[in-house]
Amino acid sequence: MSSAAAESGLLFGTALCISDLLSQPRTRAILRDCSIVTPEYELKWDAVYRNPGCPDYSAADDLASFASNNNLAIHGHTLWWHEAVPPALPTSPENQFQEAALNHLRETVTRYSGQLHSWDVVNEPLESADGRADGLRETCFLAAFGPDYIEIAFRQASLLDPGAVLVLNEMGLEYDSPAAERKRRQMLALLEREKTKGTPIACLGIQSHLTALEQPRRHPEFRAFLREVRALGLSVMITEMDVSDHLCPRNRSMRDTIVADTYRAYLDLVLEEAKVLAVSTWGLSDDRTWLNSFRPRSDGARQRSLLLDRAIRKKPAWHAVRGALLNKDKQEPGPGKAPQ
């Protein structure tokens, strides 16, 4: 898989946890398929500060050593995310939270400076249901720093690790709904605002948690969005791709076909329109998906949402993703496609 990606000038990878490396078949699959890995949990603020006042980077360090010993790039996930704030941390007074958030960012970026391919500097900044005109999610970062918090985080990260690709990562940009279209417009407005201020955002992370039978094959609004992102001079990373099969029939081979087809159609579209640096799935094998708890199937069957099955065997989805990666530069340019 990673060689197929490399042929098209991309990295391919997965999210992983330190415990994945206890399984030899899983480790072998990671080494066979990946050129980039994303710590699923170990770098998050609450993971590092499980014991208040006493940061513990040992699990993240172990993953970083595994990656560097095996020549894998690392995507750092994630510096400022409202869901990863240590629970014991007081979010007020604001200046105390500011200091803690900046300390965490500086300490983490400095520790791994020069070692990472990229950083999700800010994760999931938009939530239109929060009702702000700019679409920003009401988080403790927004409360403490105001709407400039994104600029502050990116400037700090850029100063401390100038070689890393700095990514603004978001969920739900790829969905097909009026709310998703609103989010795409708000994201473009945000990126334009930050560009005007000179905020060093290099790349948009599109999480890509897809749902089979819901994700459209043709998706003109999303296609147009990707073109606008490209026109702003930004690259794209597909950061957390998986396909929930909770709407699919139970029959395994039918499910596998529909899931594979969902991956293929989605990747064909994104690879055609965006300047994609890397494609990562959120786990590699079906025993490691978060979707069994987040989107359980009503018939009780386990999700088959990733590229390998529970026995770490390749599924049609694996071949579909590989096909899309290999096909990248063989596609007909879409109408109005931005020049390479």
User: CB–CB of 166/156 below 8 Å?
Assistant: no
* Upper half-sphere CA count for residue 65 (Cβ side, 13 Å): 8
User: CB–CB of 91/85 below 8 Å?
Assistant: yes
- Round to whole Å and give the CA distance between 184 and 97: 30
Angle between the N-to-C axes of helices 178-197 and 149-160, in degrees from 0 to 180, rounded to the nearest 10: 60
Quick note: the x/- pattern for ligand 9MR over 157-196, rule CB under 6 A, is --------------x-------------------------
Q: Which residue is nearest to ligand 9MR (CB)?
A: 290
Q: Which of residues 261-320 bind ligand 9MR (CB under 6 A)?
A: 290
| Consecutive H or E run containing 244 | strand 235-244
Please report how close the Cβ of residue 83 comes to ligand 9MR at its closest, in angstroms.
Answer: 6
Query: Which residue in 40, 174, 273, 286 binds ligand 9MR (CB under 6 A)?
Result: 40
Q: Which residues of 141-173 are buried (b: 16+ CB within 10 A; e: fewer)?
A: bbebbeeebbbbbbbbbbebbeebbbbbbbbbb
DSSP assigned state of 93 = S
Please report how close the Cβ of residue 291 comes to ligand 9MR at its closest, in angstroms.
Answer: 9
Query: Which residue in 127, 170, 194, 240 binds ligand 9MR (CB under 6 A)?
Result: 240
- The window from 38-46, 51-59, 144-152, 254-262 that contacts ligand 9MR (CB under 6 A) reads 38-46
- Three-state DSSP at 76 gives strand
Q: Which of residues 64-83 bind ligand 9MR (CB under 6 A)?
A: 83
- The window from 37-45, 149-157, 247-255, 328-336 that contacts ligand 9MR (CB under 6 A) reads 37-45
Residue 41 sits in the site that holds ligand 9MR (CB under 6 A): yes
Tell me which residues touch ligand 9MR (CB under 6 A).
40-41, 44, 83-84, 171, 207, 240, 290
